[in-house]
Amino acid sequence: MKVIFISLFIVIADQITKILVKGLSIPSLGIEIKGMHYQQSIPVFGNWFKITFIENPGMAFGLQIGGKLFLSLFTILATFMIVFFLYKNRHNSLYLRIALALILGGAVGNLIDRVFYGAIYGYAPIFYGNVVDFFHIDTPNFTILGKTFYSWPIFNIADIAVSLGFLLILFGYKKIADDEKKNELSVNEFNELKPELPVEPAIQENISPVTKE
């Protein structure tokens, strides 16, 4: 389960960058992070790559499937399933576990936004928050699932982790299958080489009857 540290790193990096972009004010703790104005854009590499602050009510890359509550509850369920699968396969393919750890970290990162940000920043009840996005790559117009995008959807570190995890599974399925076969062979070889311990026969004690004098 050491791959869980990958997930933890992604969640921490994701939340730190989001707070730096959105800002955070907790006067009682002396925390005052100014952040950016909504839709403010800071060029990094000309107009091709920018940091643009927006909030996304849907899924990764701005895709919207179902309502906010559905997305939050679905992500919670998916998170528990991934954790269970990681634990169950903790001795299997490392490649698969790394991919799942990336997906888990990204899912939890965006889940924190959906569940808590609305309540923390005072614009929505719990489970109804928006996801903070800021990486902005300006590209020509294109269409996905019937929706036209006028540039590549603005995204965040969590989105990158989820996408990378799915790509690793998609293009590495053969390696995952090979790793599973190797694990099965190793287990079978171990069982064949394991010496059988001799079974000692049970010792029966003869109990002589007690005679009365």
41: exposed, middle or buried (Cβ count in 10 Å: 0-12, 13-18, 19+): middle
State the catalytic residue, choosing from 113, 159, 178, 179.
Answer: 159
Contacts of 69 (CB under 8 A, 6+ apart): 127, 128
To the query of whether residue 179 is one of the catalytic residues in this protein, the response is: no
State the catalytic residue, choosing from 113, 133, 138, 179.
Answer: 133
Q: Angle CA(26)–CA(29)–CA(33) in degrees, nearest 5?
A: 45
Indicate if the alpha-carbon torsion angle 106, 108, 109, 115 is positive or negative: positive
To the query of whether residue 138 is one of the catalytic residues in this protein, the response is: no
The torsion angles phi and psi of 91, rounded to 5 degrees, stand at -110, 5
Alpha-carbon distance of 172 to 175, in angstroms, equals 5
Catalytic sites, residue numbers: 133, 159
